[in-house]
Amino acid sequence: MRKAAVFTILVMCGSLAIADMRITEWMYGGENGEFVEFTNTGAAAVDMTGWSYDDDSRLPGGFDLSEFGLVMPGQSVIITESAAEDFRTAWGLSASVKILGEYSNNLGRNDEINLFDPLENLVDRLTYGDQDIPGSIRTNGASGNIPAGSLGLNDAMAAALSALGDGYGSWTSAGGDIANPGAYIPEPATLALLAAGAGLIRKRRRQ
Ligand SMILES: [Ca+2]
Ligand SMILES: [Ca+2]
Ligand SMILES: [Ca+2]
């Protein structure tokens, strides 16, 4: 009985590791370059060797993400059309933030972000555009954030535009863009849920 329970938890953790790399932030245009942020929202590290990104042409292998290598739980990584070090300087990011620069897909005002694993499975997708999806945000010069409750749901309507002093920790780049690249801060409610979940696992381990 006890072995079976432990096995179930291990299987759950394994599947979370594959499934929980998520699109957490994007900006299709800006003075310091468009970018997309992916965050490992799972409980285990994810090796991104063989992973790839594409926009609305939806082709696995479009932009290789292998160089990200191992991404730890809670860690965010960035792809940008700018040179990686230019982006790092413009946003004042530390050397520890993983950035892959100079992709050429060019996200448009109405476009799509597709994330593929090494087996070419679609792991996450965000279809966005204030013209195609009336009432949704326009991420030109300010990024969009996916709330924790909407991660992986491809729901552009749920996305929130970055603003100074917001709960996502947004700040201003050298060129005047407003965003929070390199980290994902879930809402306090989510943190409480995560803490409750961790408590549950500890309780089970003690039994
Ligand atoms: Ca495009
Ligand atoms: Ca663009
Ligand atoms: Ca962020």
User: Which residue ranges form the domains of the chain, and what is each CATH number?
Assistant: 2-206 (2.60.40.1260)
Determine the distance separating the centroid of ligand 2 and the alpha carbon of 74, expressed in angstroms.
27
Determine the distance separating the centroid of ligand 1 and the alpha carbon of 108, expressed in angstroms.
5
Q: Give the predicted TM-score (pTM) of the model.
A: 0.84
Determine the distance separating the centroid of ligand 2 and the alpha carbon of 186, expressed in angstroms.
26
Determine the distance separating the centroid of ligand 1 and the alpha carbon of 113, expressed in angstroms.
9
Q: Model confidence at 187, in pLDDT bands (50, 70, 90)?
A: low
Model confidence pLDDT, tens digit, residues 1-53? 444 444 444 444 444 445 599 999 999 999 999 999 999 999 999 999 999 99
Determine the distance separating the centroid of ligand 1 and the alpha carbon of 110, expressed in angstroms.
8
On the CB side of 58, CA atoms within 13 Å amount to: 6
d(CA 44, CA 92): 28
d(CA 151, CA 134): 20
- The pLDDT of residue 186 is 76
d(CA 178, CA 27): 9
Tally of residues, the chain: 207
